[in-house]
Amino acid sequence: MRVMAIDYGDARTGVAFSDLTGSITGDAFTIPVTSLKAAAGKLAALAAERDVRTIVLGLPLNMDGSEGERSKKSRILAGMLSEATGLDVILWDERRTTVDAHRILSGAGRHGKKRREKIDAVAASLILEGYLNRSG
């Protein structure tokens, strides 16, 4: 049961996939994004190509747990993905994933443009890892 995790962003969206058994994090990368509709189309196509059975979408909450504008966009994307794929989309609290991704990349010596290109993929991997750890 392959799982796909998503860290949605206005310019780039991070995507991470589990292995076929849905137990460990595998491939992660970013896709360019121009709109919610375009993102939903690309993500639905990736889910179909990789025979995804579960989609986990990061829900950006404020530190106090409240939802802001970014959360609304994620909820809209979740609905679009569910409609396009026929799968339930699990919304996952993504607080601190970007901060942790920056820390990981900094520790690996990635700075500037190299870090910006990878940050969303690492954040998606952290969302996936959190989901797999909790559900496994």
How many structural domains comprise the chain?
Answer: 1
Please state the rounded mean pLDDT for residues 29-43: 94
Q: Please compute the mean of the pLDDT values over residues 57-61 and round it to a whole number.
A: 93
CATH code, domain with 115: 3.30.420.140
Q: How far apart are CA 5 and CA 24, in angstroms?
A: 12
CA triplet 89, 20, 102: central angle to 5 degrees? 65
> Stretch 33-52: mean pLDDT, rounded?
95
What's the pLDDT tens digit per position in 77-105? 999 999 999 999 999 988 776 666 656 65
Beta strands in 1-136 (DSSP E): 2-7, 12-18, 25-32, 52-59, 89-93
**Structural domain boundaries enclosing 21:** 2-135
Better pLDDT: 115 or 2 = 2
- pLDDT score recorded for residue 112: 58
- Please check whether residue 132 is in contact with residue 9, taking contact to mean a CB–CB distance below 8 angstroms: no
By DSSP bridging, strand 52-59 and strand 25-32 are: unpaired
Q: What is the chain's mean pLDDT, rounded?
A: 87
Residue 23 confidence class, pLDDT cut points 50, 70, 90 = confident
Listing from the earlier edge strand, what are the strands of the sheet with 12-18? 25-32, 12-18, 2-7, 52-59, 89-93
Pick from 26-40, 78-92, 101-115, 121-135: least confident: 101-115
